[in-house]
Amino acid sequence: MAKKRTLFTCEQCGHQEPKWLGRCPSCGGWNTFREESSSVSSGGSKAHEKTRKLPASEIALDQVAATEGFRFSSGIAELDRVLGGGVMRGSAVLIGGEPGIGKSTLMMQLVASALPGTRALYISGEESAAQIKMRSDRLGLDASAVDLLCESDLDRIMSVLRKTRPQLVVMDSIQTLISQEAGQVPGTVNQLKYGCHELIDWAREEDSAFFLVAHVTKEGSIAGPKVIEHMVDTVLYFDLADGGLRIVRSTKNRFGSVDELGLFSMEADGLHQVVDPGEIFLVRRGGEIPPGIAAAPVYEGSRVLMVELQALTVPAKGGYSRVYSDRIDPGRVSRIAAVLERHLSLRFSDQDIYVNVAGGMKISEVGIELPLAMALYSARTGIAIPKGLTVAGEVSLAGEIRPTGHMDRRRKSAAELGFQRFVGPESTGKGKSRSDGGEVRVATIGEAVKAIFKAGAAKP
């Protein structure tokens, strides 16, 4: 016999307490507990009863059939790249982004471009059928193989899934899911956990690919308990860069790399893939390059992107220097500035440092350190980096230039975009500076400055 009991659940992390607390002991959030009622049965919940009826499944690993057809193309090359080469059957993908960035547009293009013979189901809990049809017509999509379900009730959704058994499903969005088993209010932690668990279990049993669309909070993280990100196989973030460029990146992927980027541009007829991203982040100038600008080949996933680093130094106000950088980790900027100050006697302790990446791209790889150092040196001394020159390498605290991965590919990609000179590290990280055609190899930060600026360390 079931009986009711009251629990208080944290809206941020899902932690539960038998009584209300002002501060969550798990995540530290204030005033995040909300009252919820749950049914407890002496015989267990319906979910547990359903699980006990299922027979145990045990099989030798070498007998599992994993064919090539287990992964299929989404029809969108940039999305396939981020997913690790295509969509895995039986997988669950969580995609989050800010309102209006194009999540629903991307998902509509996904279900409309599925492989022939693949039945797709688009579930919408936020829009009506007429609104979705209008978007489909505006995008010029062939939605003849797409089924549409405008529903937020989990029981009805599961009934349709078991009846139609589609191979590709989109749920837009998970915040609208509601089930009587998890309470009366949609969007709560219990609703999200229970609803996503049921949908993901169905997808794995039927070998169907399931895409879950989620909102993000004002801090930029996916709304809902963190446990949802642990339940799915892949977590994607849809970000907006400068110039209207849309970037899809992965923070978790059980079937591929998390270093790949998917690049899109939003047009009147939907999202368009960026075919040649090599120079999309570069600023083409007709005249001379101003001081503080450095071009760098950045290795992202399986391709090289040329980006422009911009640095600016101004006298600190109030005698306390600060670093302003939201595209590159401020700690890395401070470390590179300290290396320049120690080994080149270039003073940064009385300067405010501003660092930006043209195009709004966030960079975390170590190959950006030498270009960052040269941009800071150029900004501090007022000497511009010569046009047609690019730099790549890692900088150690001892002032040494260390090699990074795929240096040959970085150099070739830069040459294809018109950069005749390349300054990079020695393959062993030792030895004196030497030149090989348009490539200059250096071992220390001082050698890099001499090779680029044709001068020694300055002392402004």
Cα distances from 55 to residues 47, 50, 52, 58, 206, in angstroms, run 15, 11, 8, 10, 16
Per-residue tokens: 232? 């799915």
- Residue set of the binding site for ATP: 97-104
- Assess contact for 303 and 417: CB atoms under 8 A: no
Q: DSSP letters of 158-196? A: HHHHHHH--SEEEEE-GGG-B-GGG-SSTTSHHHHHHHH
* Alpha carbons 238 and 255: distance in angstroms, whole number: 19
Per-residue tokens: 118? 């693949």
- Residue set of the binding site: 97-104
- Assess contact for 233 and 253: CB atoms under 8 A: yes
At 362, give phi and psi (nearest 5°): -90, 135
Which residue in the block uniquely carries the two structure tokens 């915040």? Answer: 175
**How would you label 113-124 residue by residue, b for 16+ Cβ within 10 Å and e otherwise?**
bbeeebbbbbbb
The closest alpha carbon to 371, from 287, 294, 261, belongs to 294
CA atoms within 13 A on the CB side of 379: 26
* Alpha carbons 83 and 250: distance in angstroms, whole number: 8
Tell the burial category of 266 from Cβ atoms under 10 Å away from its Cβ (0-12, 13-18, 19+): middle
For the chain, the maximum distance between any two Cα atoms, rounded to a whole number of angstroms, is 85
CA dihedral of 249, 252, 253, 257, whole degrees rounded to 10: 60
| Strand ranges inside 184-244, DSSP E | 209-214, 234-240
The closest alpha carbon to 221, from 74, 27, 366, 35, belongs to 27
Beta bridge partners of 235: 94, 252
**How would you label 173-204 residue by residue, b for 16+ Cβ within 10 Å and e otherwise?**
bbbbbbbebbbeebbbbbbbbbbbebbbebbe
Identify the DSSP state of 316: P
SS3 1: coil
